[in-house]
Amino acid sequence: MATKFRTIDEQGYFPFAASKLVIGTTIPFDIHQKQGGMFELLFEFGTEYTAMTRDFLVQKSLKELYVSDEDKPVLESYLSKGFSESTSILESSRAFKDYTFQKDKYYQIDRQMLIQGAEVHFSIYVMKNYVYSQLLHATPEHAVTISEKILDARGELLIPQADVPLYNEYLSSLLRSDKMKGKDAGKLKALLIRENSKIIIKDLFDNPRSGEKIKQTQAMVGEMIDSIMENKDTIYDLLSIRGYDYYTYTHSVNVCVLSVGLGVAVNLNQMQVEMLGIGAMLHDIGKSVIPQEIVNKQGKLDDTEYRIIKTHVAEGEKILKENHRLSPDSLSAVTQHHEKISGKGYPLRLAAKDITLCGRITAIADCYDALTTTRPYRQSLSPFKALGIIAKETGNYDPDLLRVFVKMLGKI
Ligand SMILES: [Fe+2]
Ligand SMILES: [Fe+2]
């Protein structure tokens, strides 16, 4: 985050009480804090003010905040709005605990898969500001039609974990339906492959030693690549959904799509792209054996936790070597995706071209996806901002690949 400093002697900042900020609103101005006699940018305009953001301010005892004089009219108009709906949100720390507890009970779906008028047998929930609410209740016996209201719901859509097989059936029926003959058929098919990949990779994380699941994963990556090779623009459809809450399976598929896109952009052949895609899809498989409290921790990791999370690289290598025959290129995406060009990565502190091409590509894709995914302690960055940050990381990531990556994503 960019930081602006200014001494306190200078005029130009206007104080207001942090308690005036309303949960569930988007803050239309930059917020500054006063620290050691200086003003420092705390949140950029456009930040969504959530229960988590409030917890953060409480923890840091930040009761008084500042806007620049230029933003004062914007602050005044914000304060005069008298937001009604969201002030009654659950006690923030309770909302935080509930969210952490409930997160694993839900499965993240792509709203583009929901087609108005279609009948579904699974229930749908929406998560907004870390609170889950039911949008639609359906059962295997009782189907419900997707209405406009469902499609208009703001927030992230999820289904109960137990309903994933029903969702999977729905996806198959979609594949057989007339929708696959319309003008958007190509895009829909690509998104269907994406949703299927998520289900398969989630299954694999639940059973990391299953040979069957890994074969399905490989087949799925193959299908995804075929559809991209058929029509290169498919890649942009596959990359179109950003800013989701973090789930390992969604992250795995995103990193796979981004890596494949970069692989195609640097003219790897189909075989090479496939090796890359499989490795990228499996890059975090080692996280399946790390305690989930650490993987899903909704805050900064302490030193011990960080040491443990880093072992996911060696664990991933172990799982894949023991149980599955993977090409050396694919395997290197798993073992080297946290290495840095500067030699400051892990686990081997490899530098520059000692890192394989698959490792260098997956590292860029991994970093970009992390920046554009929402975490409770920070908003997801827009692709534009994420690219701005990553483009400066030429010491850590392959500068030639970075250039191609930025150009590729600039087209979204
Ligand atoms: Fe990783
Ligand atoms: Fe990752």
pLDDT at residue 84 tops 60 = no
- Answer yes or no: is 372 within a domain: yes
CATH number, residue 263: 1.10.3210.10
* Cα(369)–Cα(212) distance, integer angstroms: 28
Separation of CA 347 and ligand 1 centre (Å): 11
Whole-number Å distance, alpha carbon 338 to ligand 1 midpoint, is 6
Is residue 190 one of the residues assigned to a domain? no
The label of the residue with tokens 């994933």 reads 164
Residue 241 CA to ligand 1 center (angstroms) comes to 21
**Which pLDDT score is estimated for 73?**
81
* Highest mean pLDDT out of 295-299, 322-326, 396-400: 396-400
CB 23 within 8 A of CB 87: yes
Dist. CA 332 → ligand 2 center (Å): 14
Residue range 62-81, pLDDT digits in tens: 889 999 887 888 888 788 76
Show Cβ contacts of residue 342 under 8 Å, excluding neighbours closer than 6 positions: 351, 395, 396
For 283, the token pair is 């890059």
Tokens of 363: 């590292």
261: burial class by Cβ within 10 Å (0-12, 13-18, 19+)? buried
Return mean pLDDT, the chain. 85
- What is the band of 275 on the pLDDT scale with cuts at 50, 70, 90? very high
Task: Decide if 367 is inside a domain.
Answer: yes
Tell me the pLDDT tens digit for each residue of 202-221. Answer: 999 999 988 899 999 999 99
Q: Does residue 188 lie within any of the structural domains? A: no
| CA 30 to ligand 2 centroid distance, Å | 31
pLDDT at 9: 43
Tokens representing residue 375 in the block? 């975490």
Helix-, strand-, coil-residue percentages of the chain, each rounded to 5: 55, 15, 35
Query: Which one is predicted more confidently, 299 or 294?
Result: 294
Ion ligand 2 neighbours, Cβ < 5 Å: 284, 366
Backbone dihedral region for residue 352 (phi beyond 0: left; psi -120 to 50: alpha; all else: beta): left
**Pair 262, 154 in one domain:** no
Q: How far is the CA of 25 from the centre of ligand 1 (A)?
A: 33
DSSP 180: G
* Interval between CA 396 and ligand 2 midpoint (Å): 16
Does residue 165 sit in the same domain as residue 40?
Answer: no
Centroid of ligand 1 to alpha carbon of 289 (angstroms): 13
Does residue 116 sit in the same domain as residue 153? yes
Task: Quote the domain boundaries for residue 30.
Answer: 13-89
The alpha carbon of 300 and the centre of ligand 1 are apart by a number of angstroms equal to 16
Same domain, 25 and 73: yes
How remote is the CA of residue 284 from the centroid of ligand 2, in Å? 5
pLDDT at 85: 38
pLDDT of residue 122: 96
Ligand nearest to the CA of 345: 1
Q: What is the pLDDT of residue 376?
A: 61
In terms of Cα–Cα distance, which of 156, 151, 155, 168 is closest to 202?
168
CB atoms within 10 A of CB 260: 27
Asked if 217 and 210 count as a contact pair (C-beta separation under 8 A), the reply is no
pLDDT: is 404 or 53 the higher one? Answer: 404
Maximum Cα–Cα distance for the chain, whole Å? 69
Kindly give the distance from the C-alpha atom of residue 77 to the centroid of ligand 1, in angstroms, as a whole number.
Answer: 44
What are the distances in angstroms from CA 368 to CA 203, 241, 256, 383, 409?
25, 13, 12, 8, 10
**What one-letter code names the amino acid at 176?**
R
Task: Give the number of domains in the chain.
Answer: 3
Q: 48 and 24, same structural domain?
A: yes
Distance 284 CA to ligand 1 centre (A): 5
- Residue 141 CA, ligand 1 centroid: distance in Å: 41
Pick the last residue of a domain from 152, 181, 210. Answer: 181
Among residues 46, 61, 89, the one where a domain terminates is 89
Task: Specify burial of residue 205 (Cβ count, 10 A radius: 0-12, 13-18, 19+).
Answer: buried
Indicate if 376 and 285 belong to the same structural domain.
yes
Rounded to whole angstroms, how far apart are CA atoms 366 and 385? Answer: 16
Residues of the chain with pLDDT > 90: what percent?
46
Going from the Cα of 320 to the center of ligand 1, the distance in angstroms, rounded, reads 15
Please tell me whether residues 42 and 122 are part of one structural domain: no
In 138-178, where do the E strands start and end? Answer: 144-145, 156-160
Q: Which ligand is nearest to the Cα of residue 259, counting in written order?
A: 2
**pLDDT exceeds cutoff 50 at 280:** yes
Ligand nearest to the CA of 248: 2
Give how far Cα 4 sits from Cα of 26, 33, 35, 40, 49, Å: 21, 11, 12, 6, 21
pLDDT value at residue 6: 46
For residues 341 and 398, state if they share a domain: yes
Considering only 4-8, 114-118, 300-304, 395-399, which range has the smallest mean pLDDT? 4-8
Same domain assignment for residues 144 and 260: no
Q: Is residue 119 located within the same domain as residue 175? A: yes
Q: Is residue 3 part of a domain?
A: no
Which pLDDT band, with edges at 50, 70 and 90, does 8 fall under?
very low
Per-residue pLDDT band for 379 (boundaries 50, 70, 90) equals low
Express as a percent the part of the chain with pLDDT over 70. Answer: 90
β-bridge mates for residue 132, sequence order: 127
Starting from the CA of residue 371, give the closest ligand. 2
Residue 201 in this model has a pLDDT that exceeds 90: yes
Q: Tokens in use for 247?
A: 């789930």
235 and 174 share one domain:
no
How many degrees, rounded to 5, is the angle at CA 91 between CA 30 and CA 125?
Answer: 90
Query: From the CA of 338, which ligand is nearest?
Result: 1
Please report whether residue 54 resides in a domain: yes
pTM of the predicted structure, to 2 decimals: 0.77
On the question of pLDDT at 179 being above 80, the answer is no
Report residues near ion ligand 1: CB below 5 Å: 284
Report yes or no on 306 lying in a domain: yes
Residue 14 tokens, joined:
């206007």
Q: What is the pLDDT of residue 378?
A: 64
Q: Kindly state whether residue 7 falls inside one of the protein's structural domains.
A: no
Question: Encoding tokens for residue 135?
Answer: 């949008």
Both 361 and 265 in one domain: the answer is: yes
